[in-house]
Structures are given as C-alpha cells and as structure tokens.
Structure 1
Amino acid sequence: MPAGLVISAPASGVGKTTLTLALARAWRNRGLRVQCFKSGPDYIDPAFHAAATGRASVNVDSWAMDRATIAHLVSRGLDADIVLAEGSMGLFDGVAARGVSGAGATADIAEMLGWPVVLVIDPSGQAQTAAAIAAGLRDYRTGVRLAGVVLNRVASPRHEDLVRRALNDAGIAMFGALPRHAEISLPKRHLGLVQAEEQAEIGKLIDEAARFVAEHVDIDAVLKAAAAWSPQPAANGLNVTPPGQRIALARDAAFSFVYPHMLEAWRTAGAEISTFSPLADEAPDVSADVCWLPGGYPELHAGKIAANARFRAGLRAFAETRPVHGECGGYMVLGTTLTDADGIRHEMTGLLGLETSFAKRRMHLGYRLAALAAPMPGHQVGARLRGHEFHYSTIVAQPDTPLAVVHDATGAVIAETGSRRGHATGTFFHLIAEDR
C-alpha cells in the first residue's frame, strides 16, 4: 500500500522542488518506487520529477479538474511505495473564486487525498517567527494536516537551534535543517526553472541534492510521516478530446510547454503523435491531420525560427488544407512578427496577424475559462475550456477573428481572446481540461 505526502511552503522560491527531487532520488536509491505529481499549472517541474524517479509525473489541478479526473491521474501511484505531490506557490495560495473542485491551492490536493504536508521554510532574517508561520499554516484550515517542517538556508547552528526550539514549543516536528548549498541550486529564467532536458548534468545535480538532504534531514522520519493511501482505481479517464487522429507536435527547446496528462489523454483516445523540431528546421509530418505548436521559449530563439525556411514553408503548406493550433509561444510563432528582448523584430510564419513584443515585458498570469466563439482542433463553437496563462510578451496587434470569450478566475473578461484565420488558431492560455 503506498503512502502519500505533500511538499509545500509558505511561498514560492523556498526550495520545494529541490526537496522533492532530493527525497524522491534518495528513496529511489534505497529501492523504493517513488511517484511524483505537481499541484497546479506547471509544465516544467514534472520533467524534473521524472528525472528523479524514472516514472512519468503529471499535474493535478483543483481549479481546472474535477475530483474524478484528479483521482484518475493519481491512480498511477497505486503501485508505488511513496507518492509525493509537490505544491505550487504557498500552501493556501489559489484564486478567490472556486473552480471545478477547489481554488487551485496545494491545500485542496492535500485535503482531497488525505496526505499530510511537509513544509519547507526559509528562516532567513528570522528565527522564532518561522515557528509562528508554521503554526499559523498548521491551524489555518481544518482538514489539512501538517506532518512537520524542513528548514532551508539556515545561517548557522545557533540559528537552527533557535528555530528548532520554537517549533518544539509549538508542537511541530522538525525533520532537519539545510545550510546554504549553492551546488544544488537549480538555474532559473523568466518562466521558472531552466527545463530539465536543457541540463546535461541534471542527474548529477539531483544525486548531489539527495546526498545533501539525506545528510541533514531525517528522511526515515519523513517517510514514516506519510499517510497510508488505499484509493480505488478511478474508472473514468481524462476529460480531454484529442485535436485529431494523427497529430504533428512541435517539440524542442522552444516548444516544450505541454502538460503530460494532455499527451496521455490524446494517446489513450487513440491519437498518434509525431514530433518535429522547428529549431532543427523540420516541417510537420505531411501525413498528420492536425499540427499543434505548444508554448515554450520562442522569444529566446526568434532569430533562428525566422531563418528556418523549411519549417516556415512546411507549416504554411500544412495550414493550407489542415488545422494548425498554437498555445502561448506557439501562438506567437503563428503570428506575423515577434520582437525579442533586444528590440529586434523577427518575421514569424504569418498564419495569423498577431504581433507580439518581448521587449515590452509585462507579466500575464492566471487561470482562464474560455468559451469558444469559433472552432479549434478538437473543440466546437460553444465549448468551455479551462486553462492557464503565463507569459511576459505584450500584444502589439491581434487583428484576426477572436477565437473565444476569455475570462480570468474572477470572471473578468480579458483581452487575450486568441485568434482564428483560415485553418490557423491560437490562444495565449494552455489548455488543461474541458469544462464538464
């Protein structure tokens, strides 16, 4: 019978991913089968989880997914010894208006699955106050159980002792304390961590994190704190319709932001996926009946994309007779121009009239609920789609027919409507699930 834990924190940037990867690899090195999940709309961390455990990780999201979908996704952990769900942002951070089964907070997943929470706390610039924060999180919501705390980036043994005593007085277990250790810091860029597949030494980095954490944290005590978990396998599958029978999927360092559960759902529904690399100047498979360009980092490769004539010509030829859809970065590449961070304007594929600029940076972040005003691959007019938007690019022009009426999680209408022209469609949000 597997046991489950949630790794969370009071805020982002505290070390949740590092601790999750280290625990997963340390337990795997002991011969345990470890399954990871990511709470919330993050398309980068699951690849790190897979690198640490050797098992595919997927997202679970209480705003976009109902309980049956979440149960189906986590059922892949039934044959594991220990299941770790890594949280996003702070433990209780979500949106004001509830979605399908919650507000998108990590706490929703902890309560729904009955898994206790291990808090990662960075006590930099504080001591006993760290215990007050942990106690406040412990008592904030009935149904969410705190297993204990791991301190990260402690300044000295004296600093650790002060926090440990305060946690003990509050009746909170402390599993260990990690001093600052630059060698296990994961590199970052503007949309989060640098992707696992871009880091040749990722295996060594995770091994070092596992060694370091095992040296400073009582990982046996953490394992014992996990809750026994014996759910019944979910009968229903994912509520996702594939965009076609044969899907040509752009896949490389510029086009990699696609949720693993989406690809799984497409394949489960019988779709075949062939990948191609725009950065390698490859065109979509001519035998495919739909082309999908996911998000990623096209703004970092705009010059190369603009110069890759075979990719651009092949995509245009494909779009003459078959649908092409782009999400976020893929949407930008379907447009006419993309201005990079240096203010250099690059010609894109021109399938849509969209013009975007990364030089005029402004963060766009949040859940999205879209009602389609025009069809897109796999979905008809009127379909309600749940997704998430996260990018720093600014729309300079969006002249085509709007694809959808898009609301944020508060119900406010937003300007990023997506576009449709001919067989080409695009959105700035990444699709997570269809609204039931």
Structure 2
Amino acid sequence: MTAPAHTRSSADLIRAEEPVLAHNYHPLPVVVARAEGTWVEDVEGNRYLDMLAGYSALNFGHRHPGLIEAAHRQLDLLTLTSRAFHNDKLAEFAERLAALTGLDMVLPMNTGAEAVESAVKVARKWAYDVKGVPDGQATIVVAADNFHGRTTTIVSFSTDETARSGFGPFTPGFRVVPYNDLAALEEAVDDTTAAVLIEPIQGEAGVVIPDDGYLAGVRELTSRKGCLFIADEIQSGLGRTGRTLAVEHESVVPDMLLLGKALGGGIVPVSAVVAKREVLAVLRPGEHGSTFGGNPLAAAVGTAVVELLETGEFQHRAADLGVGLRDGLTELVGKGVVGFRARGLWAGVDIDPAVGTGREISERLMREGVLVKDTHGSTIRLAPPLTITAEELTGALAALEKVLK
C-alpha cells in the first residue's frame, strides 16, 4: 500500500472529532486511512495488523478483491429500488443464503440490531398466530451477559448497566437466565414463551463458549416445550469459528438464525433473519419492512460473500489457524495471561490485572503495530480476518508476548 497524502495529522483529526461527534465510542488513538487484506495504514503511513476485523464484519479482510468487484459491478447498474419493486439480485441472494444455512426463507435487513428486532417481532407474531399465546402476553427468554445490539428494546434485556442506565423505561416481555444453564432455562420457559434467543458464543462478554451439549440441550428443550430457538450468529457466524455457523459444532439447526456483520463483506451493512418457512410465513405485507433492506447493492455483495463461503475455504482456514492461535495463547498463560477462550479464529484473552488493563494492553499492542480491542476491563478480543497467514498470526502473538513483559 502507498501511504495516502493528507494535510491533517492523526492528532489533528482526533482533536477535530471531539466537538462535533457524539462521544459514544472510546476508540484507540489511531486514524485509519487505507487498508488491504489484514493490514491497515494510518494517515502518516504507519502499518498495523488488524486483529479485530471490525468485530467480525471483515472476516474476508479489507477490500477483498472478489467482493470489491461485485460492488463495483453493481454500482454501475443499480443501487436501490426499495422493496416497493423487485430487483434482479435479491432472489439469488436469498436462495443461496438459505441453502448455505440449511433453512428456507430470508428476511433481509441492514444492521445486526435490525435483524434482532425483526426476530423479536416475528417470534411474537408466531406465538400469537401459531402457538396461541394470548395477545400481549408473549415472552422471550434470553441469557445474562448477552449482547444483541443497542436499540431500546434490545437494551431492555441486557444485563450490562452501561448499556441500560439512563435509557428506560424498558420494553417488557423478556426473561433473563444465566448463560450455559439448561436447568434455569427449563424453569423459565412456559406456555407464554415465544422463543429462546441466545448467542451460540457470547462475543461482547469475552468470547464465552458454553459447555458441550448446551446448544443441543437448548434445541431439545425448545422443541419439547413448543417455542422457537433463535441463534444470534451476527458475530459467531460465517466462518469465524471454523464452521459456517457456530451451532454446527453441535449439529444444531435453529428455527431462526440471525446474521450480519460479515454478510456485508465490510463494504455495506447487510443483515438477515434466516428461518424455517412456517416461522417467517407469519409476516404479511405491511407488517414489517426496511427501505434499504434487500437493496440490490447489498444483495450483490451478500451473494458474493455466500459464494466465498460455499467453497469451505474460509471455514477450513479458521479451523486450521485456530489451532495455532490456541497453542500460542496456551504458551502465554502464566506469563501475563490468566486464561483464555478460543474457537476458530476468535479468542477472548484475560489479562493479569497486575500487567495492565485490557485497554492498556490494547494501546501497547497498537504501538507494536497490532490492533485489538478490550472488553470488560481486563479482557482483549482477538478476531483477525480469516485471510490472515500463519506468519502474521505468529507475529501478533509475539507482539502480545512482548507487551505482556
């Protein structure tokens, strides 16, 4: 990459944001101006290995040539019609995404939060129309320490006070149980339960992986008790864990699957609810929609993403390189790392507080040319593009070892 020409320095640009941007983020002090593959450059031309990949939105790396080509091609033809009209890209996108996930129908949206909100609406409608729950009494069971988005309904069932405090009154109709606790889930589900909504792996909580058998247990329980199983795979899906979907590690098929982030290839926001036919069939014209949902540009990019995943290459890369990631992190336990959780190319790494906070370790890594993100005080998340090489991964782990000293 050639360093871009800029008249304003990183420090100038960061200062310029302060008075004009809402302070809802606390980013690392790096100003990215250009990127390719697993690497980004700041405005001064300094290079950094991206070990966060846009919280899995960049599973295929920055500016993947196949995805960029699909976007360029569509930009020359048609970008938006709204759903008032059909477009020539949406059918193929839905067909191939349904086939990839083993489900039947697709409800295209834009952001992950929109997919979650859509699933909440569909589950409630299903409960009233199909299950026979009395109107206004449907409940949805969720897990503590979840992260499903930032809208007012979604933060209503968050247990993170930073996400909730000051944003009430909250939307009723949700029951929170401990994650990875089938007994608590069994007790919470009753005749009013429309669905159980969980992340197969909790990302924002620090890449928390449930016990073997938990997801299969959720599937068995929801089937037995006559409610829906909604799997939020917005971060865990589309190759990240070494499978197309994280639920595949237990051969589980949910009733509704929520996808986003990587589905847009890091180019446009694309999300989707993918579900069994009898579930999405409860929606009728006028009951739900999105001006940009299913737009032809998004559908073209989304189809190109599905095409990449159909080969299995990226799933295999995540699985194979994930072994090296786990081995490297194992070597650091007791050397500044107190523990970690990893599946595929995704890890939550708990830092010894005596060595530094997660934020401090992230800043030290930035100075070594590696970008990660902290969460919950002492944990950092590693989620590199699935295009990362073994050598790049080894370099990132060496940088982590260095800053821990």
TM-score of the superposed pair, with normalisation by structure 1: 0.29
Point out the structure with the larger helix share: 2
TM-score of the superposed pair, with normalisation by structure 2: 0.30
Kindly name which structure, 1 or 2, has the bigger radius of gyration based on alpha carbons: 1
